[in-house]
Amino acid sequence: MTIPYTALLAAALALAGVVNVASAESATPAGGPRTPGEERAINLCSTCHGPRGISTSPEFPILAAQREGYLVAQLEAFQAKTREEKAAHDFMWGIAGNLDAATIRSIAQYYASQPPAAGRPGDPALVAKGRELWEKGVPDRSIPPCASCHGAKAEGVADFPRLAGQHTKYVTRQIEFIQTLTRKAPVMHGIVKDLTPDEMQAIAVYVQSL
């Protein structure tokens, strides 16, 4: 009388074992083995950051085509708990805490090599104002143009992050965090500390449109 249920349970556990083996095989697709970063990005990071790093929720940043060095630096900052705004603390400390240096590098390479997200048009007046700030800064207040570090089209330069196509909400929030020293970025703090909320919004709407 008791055999079927025990057998079912045993079958379930056995299937879990089979799945274990199968997964090792499926991790090696025809095009060559997946890197640890690809495996992690596809099977875990995509849950919040979207397929190939293009998230739909502005609560989570777009990672597609992001600068590799910047991604490594951020994952290391989450791991070291030196990037400590609430979302970093709640979501990313735990995720990054389980990564080794090679996997961090591999994840960064995966996202850096993905096609970028398409720009999304915004309010033309805000876009125009944002472009002005991006290209010229505010010389009167000694605010340099964003383009000088982040690139003419916000594509990112060296380890300075790509902002083109990024969610407006995410960009404004990060500028606020840097302004209030919630997120430690000494160079950026000096540059954005005098930006007004309207200016932040204009810059963020502009980069999202690129």
Partner 1 sequence: MNGKIGSDLGRSAALAVLLWVVATHASAVPSFARQTGQECAACHVSWPELTPYGRFFKATGYTIGKTFWSSDKPGVNYVPAAVMAQASISSVRNNSATDPDTGDTTSVMPRQNLPVFSGASLFVATKLNDYMGIFYQWTYDNLAYDDAGVRKGHSSIDNTDLRAAYKYAPENADIPDWIFGLTVNNNPTVSDLWNSSPAWGFPFATSPLAPTPAAATIVDGGLAQQVAGLGAYAWWKKTIYAEIADYRTANVMANALRRGLPYNDPGGVFAVTRNNPYWRVAYAHDWDVNSIMLGSYGMVANVYPDNLNTTTPTDRYSDVAVDAQYQYITDVHTVTAQATYIWEKQSYNASYPITQETGSGYGAGPTPANPTDRLRTFRIKGSYYYERVYGATLAYFQTTGSADEGLYGTTANGDPNTPNSNGYILQLDYLPVQNVRLLLQYTGYGKFNGARSNYDGTGRNASDNNTLFFDVWVAF
Q: Taking the complex as a whole, how short is the minimal distance between the CB of residue 151 and partner 1, in angstroms?
A: 26
- Tell me how crowded residue 22 is: count the other CB atoms within 10 A of its CB: 11
Question: In the chain, where does DSSP find H-type helix?
Answer: 3-26, 36-40, 46-49, 68-79, 86-87, 93-97, 101-112, 124-136, 147-150, 168-179, 186-192, 197-209
Decide: is 180 part of the binding site for partner 1 (CB under 8 A). Answer: no
Give Cα 154 to chain centroid, integer Å: 15
Q: Which stretch binds partner 1 (CB under 8 A): 87-95, 101-109, 122-130, 182-190?
A: 87-95
Contact region for partner 1 (CB under 8 A) — 84-92, 117-125, 135-143, 183-191? 84-92
Residues 25, 35, 37, 58: which binds partner 1 (CB under 8 A)? 58
Q: How far apart are CA 88 and CA 104, in angstroms?
A: 16
The residues that touch partner 1, with contacts defined as CB under 8 A, are 1-2, 4-6, 8-9, 12-13, 15-16, 19-20, 22-23, 26, 29-31, 42-44, 46-48, 51-52, 56-59, 86-87, 89-91, 93-95, 97-98
